[in-house]
Amino acid sequence: MKTVAPKLLEVIRQEVLDTTNTTLIEIGAGKAVVSRYLSKQFQWKRVIGVEGDWMTYWTAIFMIKLVGAKVNMVRRNIYKYQMPEGAKVIYNYMSVPIIQRMYDEGRLDGALVFNLTFRIQGVEPMKVIPIDTFQKELLVYDFRKKTKSNSSQPSVI
């Protein structure tokens, strides 16, 4: 997280013109480390952490309360979670099959997406940022103009 953090800040500053109009969603949020951190770095419309595991979900809520972060946790399977309308940034550290399925089902449409380490197959990232840990790289995908109607076409970046 320590080495990923400055890279996330840099790209968000460059790419997200108005965070106050943008929802940040951490899918597979775990203890919501990244969303807790980013919630304090920018003023967002909303920050949401989606986590499937009950114990992890409650741990995240405890941590959010402890540090006074403005993160709304949702306990749900990410394949069933309805993404909010409007501008959004999605952060995740999920394995290839999971993030690939999210992409194939169009669940990342309309978002600027940060993947830690795992690539979406057949899609060129907008940026590949080396990370100085075992996680290796931060991948940035721009799906902000992608909608269900053009989801069968390759992403144009």
Ligand X SMILES: C[S@@+](CC[C@H](N)C(=O)[O-])C[C@H]1O[C@@H](n2cnc3c(N)ncnc32)[C@H](O)[C@@H]1O
Stretches 44-52, 107-115, 129-137, 143-151: which one binds ligand X (CB under 6 A)?
A: 44-52
Q: Which regions of 7-156 does DSSP assign to beta strands (E)?
A: 23-27, 46-51, 72-75, 88-92, 111-116, 127-130, 137-142
- Contact between 33 and ligand X per CB under 6 A: yes
- Contact between 115 and ligand X per CB under 6 A: no
- Contact between 77 and ligand X per CB under 6 A: yes
- Contact between 82 and ligand X per CB under 6 A: no
Q: Rg of the chain over CA atoms, in angstroms?
A: 15
* Shortest distance (Å) from residue 27 CB to ligand X: 7
* Shortest distance (Å) from residue 144 CB to ligand X: 21
CA torsion, ordered 128, 98, 59, 88, to nearest 10 deg: 60
Given the rule CB under 6 A, which residues bind ligand X? 26, 28-30, 33-34, 50-53, 56, 77-79, 93-94, 98
